[in-house]
Homo-oligomer: A and B are copies of this chain.
Amino acid sequence: MGASLGEVGEFGLVARVTADLPTAPGVLLGPGDDAAVVAAPDGRVVATTDVLVEGRHFRLDWSSPYDVGRKAAAQNLADVAAMGARPTALLVGFGAPASFPVESAGEIVRGLADEAASCGAAVVGGDVVRSDAVVLSVTALGSLDGRAPVTRAGARAGDVLVVAGLLGGAAAGLAALRAGRPDLAAAAAHRVPSPPYADGVALATAGASAMIDVSDGLTGDLGHVAAASGVGFVVDVAALPRHPAVAEAAAALGADPLEWVLGGGDDHALVATLPSPVPGYAVVGRAVAEPGIAWEGVAGVPAAYDHFA
């Protein structure tokens, strides 16, 4: 049996897990001091934070510690990408019981570091505390490299709607795991999402007027863009990019795949509006002056996920 957090202590854990963290070109001062220093080349930094709680956002009997780390990183890095920015750094707050294995904590950090490295970022700092539940709070930083941030508020009637990445996979995977079917391919999509990081910068460069990442479900997140921009949307449901594992899970579980595609969060696809179509991104709808979202080709639409509902 390996050591527990209680045995090695806070400083021991921090020393162990940060000993061999990879760095990145923008990291001017990494972990180990009161604070890190990260390059912000255009004189601005993009910053976002998310908290994940065991039992609510992940389950360690469904996901490995490594996958929990990757997922926690991904959802924050996707928020940076959704501004049209390039992720540069992660800071990680980690709480766990004293009995938590040091090895598992190291695996979580390795997952965070690997996911960060996949888009050019690095873990630059963190904090370790004792808590009854396992809690991960992640802050992601990013650089706009001179571009304007792409907010939720810039969509205009007439803009086209595009989606980068896939929808419904994580929700299908959650349903599979709840049904005791970890063998279904969707389970992997729940454990580790694959946000299309590079598309954030690409869509911003192509002139995106608004952008958001799908973390609460397309219905809810597109609703956020509609509200912030003062527009409505007409969406061609058949054109939405479904995760390939959705169909198998729907058949195996006798479920309606549309609920996952339209209402499922955690895939972190990027949804953007643009004044006109751009090569490489299929048009899946358009912004309209009338408020509300019209889903062409479907009747009832599920509500967005609310953490306190």
Q: In the complex, which range does the number of interface residues on chain A fall in? A: 35 or more
Instruction: Find the B residue at minimum CB distance from A14.
Output: B307
C-alpha gap A92/B126 in the complex (Å): 14
Query: In the complex the two chains form, is A93's CB within 8 Å of B309's CB?
Result: no
Q: Is the CB–CB distance between A135 and B38 below 8 Å?
A: no
Residues of B within 8 A of A135 (CB): 51, 53, 95, 131, 135, 137
Q: 1/0 contact trace for A23-62 toward B, CB 8 Å? A: 0000011001111111111111111111111001100000
Number of copies: 2
Per-residue CB contact flags for chain A residues 77-113 toward chain B (1 = under 8 Å, else 0) read 0011011010001011111001000000000000000
Distance to closest chain B CB from A107 (angstroms): 18
Which A residues form the contact surface with B (CB < 8 A)? 5-13, 28-29, 32-53, 56-57, 79-80, 82-83, 85, 89, 91-95, 98, 124-133, 135, 137, 139-142, 144, 149, 151-153, 211-213, 228, 306-309
**Residue pair A79, B35 in contact (C-beta under 8 Å):** yes
Chain A to chain B contacts (Cβ below 8 Å), 28 pairs: A7-B308, A9-B309, A10-B306, A33-B153, A34-B213, A35-B47, A35-B48, A35-B85, A35-B142, A35-B149, A37-B46, A37-B144, A39-B43, A40-B40, A47-B89, A48-B125, A49-B93, A49-B139, A50-B93, A51-B95, A51-B129, A53-B130, A57-B129, A95-B135, A130-B307, A131-B135, A132-B133, A137-B137
A129/B44 in contact, CB under 8 A: no
Chain B residues within an 8 Å CB radius of A5: 308
The 3 closest A-B pairs by CB, nearest first: A137-B137, A40-B40, A35-B48
Q: Considering only CB atoms, which chain B residue lies closest to A144 in the complex?
A: B37
